Amino acid sequence: MPQKKLTNIQWQFVRQSLWVSVTVVTLGAALVFSLWSYTVGLEPLQTWLKHRWEWRIPAFPGWGFVVIMMAVLWLTAGAIGAATGYVFGNLFKKRLEILLQSTMMLERGDLTTRIPNLGDDEIGELGNRLNDMTARFQKQVASLQRLSTHNAELTEQVKQAAILEERHRLARELHDAVSQQLFAISMSMAALKRMLTHRPEKAEQQVELVEEMAAAAQSEMRALLLHLRPAHLEGKSLKHGVEELLRELQDKHALDFKWSIG
């Protein structure tokens, strides 16, 4: 479709040039033949020409000669006009084709495309304006790409900072809860060794205490593991996700409770 339009433009040049040439020749020939037929009968003018240059206006040959001459002039003017229109139309079409191909490449996203110099007229000015606009778009795209890269880097930094903060928090919780429980168990086991030697009757109570502390440490570890591995909720409804989380809490913390989610 674009090529057809450019071809029409070329033939418009041919038609317009042909029409202008034939019109000019027709008007000029009509004027010449009219003056010829009028002045040939002016005897004072003929006498003056004879006296001045020894020349007389020849007799008007008649309208048959006019018709033949007009046909010859029309054919000649038509051929010259058509050839001139075709040449200039072809040059104009080639410039528009360059402009069209460049704009199509820009439409496909190739912002490195630049329109060559198309002259100093309006088409050349249009090409220069498009080049300036493309250069501005290219700078804006490069700026957006840099901004996108910077945002991605900031997102990654925030993610890494969140991971590091979570690690620090877990380390604090391990130290505050599990590590203290393990230290207490270690101290109780050392005391249990002495009780087995000196006070065996108290050893059973110490064993129960160690079991309670071990259970508490295990509960703390389960809570941390549950926090590290939350329930998988992708593709599930809120109700199913909450029920799965409650069942996991019940299993890991030895809890016995019932729930009802509407």
Report pTM.
0.48
226 compared with 35, residue with greater pLDDT: 35
For 206, half-sphere exposure in the C-beta direction (CA atoms, 13 angstrom radius) is 18
Q: How confident is the model at residue 231 (pLDDT cuts 50, 70, 90)?
A: low
Q: Is the pLDDT of residue 126 over 80?
A: yes
Phi, psi at 115, each rounded to 5° = -80, 130
Q: Is the pLDDT of residue 1 over 50?
A: no
Q: Is the pLDDT of residue 99 over 80?
A: yes
Q: Domains in the chain, ordered, with CATH?
A: 2-110 (no CATH), 155-252 (1.20.58)
125 compared with 1, residue with greater pLDDT: 125
**How far is the C-alpha of 184 from the C-alpha of 177, rounded, in Å?**
11
Q: How confident is the model at residue 93 (pLDDT cuts 50, 70, 90)?
A: confident
Residues in Cβ contact with 36 at an 8 Å cutoff, skipping those fewer than 6 apart:
57, 60
Residues 205-222: tens digit of each pLDDT: 777 777 777 777 777 776
Closest to 228 measured CA to CA, from 182, 168, 170: 170
